[in-house]
């Protein structure tokens, strides 16, 4: 009986999440990658995620998470903005190579403008 209740609870939660209309999320500080993963799961319609401080997480790991979720959980246009990020051209090139290495048909681009990093994925 407990298993059935858990399945029903999960279905109820999923149906409620589909009604969630949150499109933009702003985070002051990101401490763990799991927080972004949870946000993507809880806000399936999110189109824009802005993060001010990612000093406690690895940038490449964060982008890999977003790219992995895109096409599975993110089924629409999505933009990630990392504000005031100090970055060198070499890192941008490495991140672009990481995106280009993906074997998917979707188009994701990374740009650096006005001190911000933008990852834009179109579905």
pLDDT in tens, 6-27: 544 555 666 666 677 888 999 9
| Structural domain boundaries enclosing 78 | 22-122
| Domain annotation covers residue 3 | no
Give the total number of structural domains in the chain: 1
Burial of 27 (0-12, 13-18, 19+ CB in 10 A): middle
Q: List pLDDT tens digits, range 83-104.
A: 866 666 777 777 778 777 766 5
In this prediction the pTM is: 0.74
């Amino acid at each position: 009986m407990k298993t059935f209740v858990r399945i029903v609870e999960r279905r109820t939660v999923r149906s409620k999440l589909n009604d969630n209309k949150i499109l933009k999320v702003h985070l002051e500080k990101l401490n763990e990658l799991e927080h972004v993963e949870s946000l993507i799961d809880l806000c399936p319609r999110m189109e824009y995620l802005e993060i001010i401080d990612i000093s406690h997480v690895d940038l490449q790991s964060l982008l890999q998470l977003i790219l992995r979720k895109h096409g599975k959980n993110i089924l629409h246009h999505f933009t990630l903005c990392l504000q005031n990020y100090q970055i060198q051209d070499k890192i941008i090139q490495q991140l672009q190579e990481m995106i280009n290495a993906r074997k998917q048909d979707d188009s994701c681009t990374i740009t650096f403008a006005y001190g911000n990093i933008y990852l834009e994925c179109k579905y």
